[in-house]
Structure 1
Amino acid sequence: YRKALEALKREDAEIKKLSALVREKQSLLAKMIGNTFREDDNGKMRLVPNPPYTGRQYDEAKAVYERAQEELLRAKASGDKRVLFKKSPKK
């Protein structure tokens, strides 16, 4: 029972940590994103980050955000399928 409880607490802590990271990066992206567009090399219109942020910083923050979001979804999905207690062997 204690092992299962410890595993649940570790998993819950991991989910909370990932959720905090996702919220942090989401708010950073909201600050970074501008409302002006510029045409890039491929001819696509792309949002220009607000100063003092650069496009590279925005791309890095977005990559971290997306990766953390995927890990969070994966952690939540694996949590739904966990087995809390092993069946005791029949005697």
Structure 2
Amino acid sequence: MSTPIARRSWRSAMAIYLRAPVITMLFLGFSAGLPFLLVFSTLSAWLRSDGVEVAAIGFFSWIGILYSIKFFWAPSWTALPCPC
């Protein structure tokens, strides 16, 4: 019979996120995604003020959506053999 696993407290489980490597990775992930958020959110306002059609602005938003769902299609893309 297996020994029961000791339950960890909520505080000890959250203490993992206070370690330096985890904080560094959270900061790097946030800072890597921030430029995309700023560009795609303000791009539509810039394009509309310059007189670009709404259909073209919608096309740029589709490009942003493709990046945001990258975690769906990236594994299949990396599984393909390199044509080099």
Question: What is the TM-score of this pair, normalised by structure 1?
Answer: 0.39
Larger radius of gyration: 2
Greater helix share, 1 or 2? 2
**Which structure has the higher relative contact order (CA within 8 Å, separation 6+)?**
1
